[in-house]
Amino acid sequence: MRTLIAGLCWCGAASAAQAAVAPVTDVTLYPGSATVTRSVTVDPSRISVEIAGLPALFDPATVRIDAGAGIEVGQVELRDHAGTAAADPREAALNDRIQQLTDRKAALEAQAEAAGVVRDYLRRIAAGNGGAAGADQGQDHGRRPLDGRTLAGVVQSLRGAASDTYGFLQGTVVQERELDRQIAALQRTLEALRSGATDTRTIVVGYAAANAGTLRISYQLAGAGWQPGYRAALDSAASTLALQRRASVRQATGEDWIGVHLRLSTGRPRSSPAGPVPDTWLLTLLEPMPMALAEAKSKALAGALAAQAMRTDAPAAAPAMAPAAPAVVEIDTPFAAEFEVPGRVDLPADGRQVDLALSSQSLPVRERIRVAPRLDAAAYLVAEADAPDGVWLPGPVQLVRDGNYVGTTSWNPLSSERLELPFGRDDLVRVKASRTRDLRQPPGLASAYRERGREIEDLFTVQSLHKAAVELLVLDAAPVAGNGDIRAQTDFVPAPTLHDWDQRKGVAGWQTTLQPRAAFTLRVHTILHFPKQGAIAGLP
């Protein structure tokens, strides 16, 4: 098979090309894009084939032509067509119906406007007849007075005209309301059906064929892709973790994919293939900012950050996972992982989410109870394992412990060489925190007239009610002075086994094995010295 990276020619002239149907046969989804492949059988008695009705959203630079044996590909032309009518007959029918209802509403509005003119005229007559105090009743400014019979006829005519006019106006309001309801319903149906792209594109491929064969035309599309997700099921008795890859697939490209062969890839073909290189590192001196302007900018920045925090949505619950589909084939390369979905797949272009199970593997884990008693009087179970082999993308993880759902977290495989997942609270481990000393101005300060001080002592107790021994990790942070005028001294009893845990300055850790009914006790004694002038942030 020969492949041509198409040198494209944009042409508006017609050619005697064979019009052919080229259905989508293969789709490779990446995070944020898709490679779509169409297949067409060519006639050796022809010299070109024309494929119309393609979405006009793909990048022409990504077009590739794969030719079968005995077929030489020549010039490739792309022609864009402005979409004056919907490509889908259902869209066209809905557009026509909406237009008809809109025209009916416009006609009603015109009739209502005419009736409004009559209504205003009747109001003026009523105001004129009843508003001339002291004028001769039944006389029209010097004109001949109306007799009783004539006056009665005029009143009757006005009454009938007013009744007809106001009744018509009320009926018009009701009809317009019903038309608005019908138009809104049709608009919702149209939006659910519409792809968002009304323009189309035609590809004309010139070729010389010694025999009948197949051309495969592929191009890159936005508006489609897949997002990775994971399901981590912990068996606490066996200390094993079943880690399952999942994928949430969506597409809104403007073309339905029916009966396609689907492949998912962790690659990113639309990313820049070249990484950044350093440029000259130039230092310049800026003029000092006036104090008032600096304070104003600081307040503005703080306000913007607060507003952004208020707008942040709570993390969405993980979508319900469909039963695992069998026989997904995983292909690992040094640069990407790819998954062949078995059978043929239908993916309509309506943006719906389809969840797929890709692969699963079992990992041995180390279970540990983690406690931060200063922050939370609860213990949490954490499972740790070596990072799995292959290419893994960041994504949400659905957590299950011994068959029970415990929550959802996120996992970024690029941030750590190990896999560490939390599995909720452990109610068989009791945590108690108490402050045994808190002196605002402890005695013995040498510079009491210039300094303030604080002396505190905390006692933390962790007790296990498990029937077997458990591994325990206790974490606490000692205060770190961010200014030379602040002095902090912390003594831990017992001494920590970990310093600057997880590369966090001042965070100490204690790793131990906690036997059944046994308790671990930690005493933390801290003395702080700081100037009397100024406010100190972070005081306990």
Q: Please state, in angstroms and rounded to a whole number, the distance separating the CA atoms of residues 182 and 191.
A: 14
| DSSP SS3 for 460 | strand
Token digits for 476?
């606490």
pLDDT band at 291 (very low <50, low <70, confident <90, very high): low
Indicate the DSSP class of residue 131. Answer: S
Indicate the DSSP class of residue 137. Answer: T
Q: Please state, in angstroms and rounded to a whole number, the distance separating the CA atoms of residues 39 and 51.
A: 10
Cis, peptide link before residue 290, omega less than 30° from 0: no
Provide the percentage of residues in the chain whose pLDDT is more than 70: 73
Q: What is the DSSP string of 292-351?
A: HHHHHHHHHHHHHHHHHHHHPPPPPPPPPPPPPPS-PEEEE-SS-EEEE--S-EEE-SS-
Backbone CA torsion sign across 296, 298, 299, 305: positive
Least confident range from 283-287, 343-347, 367-371, 381-385: namely 283-287
Look at residue 185 and tell me whether its pLDDT is greater than 90. Answer: no
Indicate the DSSP class of residue 413. Answer: G
∠ CA(427), CA(432), CA(434), 5° rounding?
A: 165
Describe the strand order of the beta sheet including 354-364 as a list of residue ranges. 354-364, 240-251, 224-235, 395-401, 404-411
Average pLDDT, the chain: 79
Mean pLDDT over 54-70 rounds to 86
**Longest pairwise C-alpha distance within the chain:** 118
| DSSP SS3 for 526 | strand
Indicate the DSSP class of residue 84. Answer: S
Report the pLDDT value the prediction gives residue 343, as an integer from 0 to 100. 84
506, burial (CB in 10 Å: exposed 0-12, middle 13-18, buried 19+): middle
Report the pLDDT value the prediction gives residue 454, as an integer from 0 to 100. 85
Contact 490, 505 (CB under 8 A): no
Q: Please give the residue that has the higher pLDDT: either 507 or 83.
A: 507
Mean pLDDT over 340-368 rounds to 88
Q: How many Cα atoms within 13 Å fall on the side-chain side of residue 449?
A: 0
Who contacts 184 (Cβ-Cβ below 8 Å, separation ≥6)? Answer: none
Report the pLDDT value the prediction gives residue 19, as an integer from 0 to 100. 76
Q: Tell me how crowded residue 60 is: count the other CB atoms within 10 A of its CB.
A: 16
Q: Please state, in angstroms and rounded to a whole number, the distance separating the CA atoms of residues 309 and 67.
A: 54
Nearest one of 206, 198, 251 to 80, comparing CA atoms: 198
Amino acid at 218: S
∠ CA(32), CA(37), CA(43), 5° rounding?
A: 165
Q: Please state, in angstroms and rounded to a whole number, the distance separating the CA atoms of residues 479 and 70.
A: 76
Q: Please give the residue that has the higher pLDDT: either 125 or 512.
A: 512
Mean pLDDT over 238-256 rounds to 89
Mean pLDDT over 180-195 rounds to 73
Pairing of strands 257-265, 240-251: unpaired
Look at residue 85 and tell me whether its pLDDT is greater than 60. Answer: no
Nearest one of 99, 90, 101 to 192, comparing CA atoms: 90
Instruction: Give 28's strand partners.
Output: 35, 263
Q: What are phi and psi of 429, to 5 degrees?
A: -120, 120
| DSSP SS3 for 189 | helix
Task: Give 108-118 pLDDT, tens digit per residue.
Answer: 787 777 777 76
Q: What are phi and psi of 495, to 5 degrees?
A: -70, 145
Q: Please state, in angstroms and rounded to a whole number, the distance separating the CA atoms of residues 201 and 148.
A: 79
| DSSP SS3 for 149 | helix
Q: Please state, in angstroms and rounded to a whole number, the distance separating the CA atoms of residues 64 and 37.
A: 9
Look at residue 146 and tell me whether its pLDDT is greater than 70. Answer: no
Token digits for 368?
């540990």
Mean pLDDT over 8-13 rounds to 47
User: Where in 172-325 does DSSP place strands (E)?
Assistant: 200-209, 213-221, 224-235, 240-251, 257-265
Who contacts 522 (Cβ-Cβ below 8 Å, separation ≥6)? Answer: 373, 459, 460, 461, 462, 474, 476, 492, 493, 494, 510
Mean pLDDT over 283-291 rounds to 65
Q: Please state, in angstroms and rounded to a whole number, the distance separating the CA atoms of residues 167 and 207.
A: 71
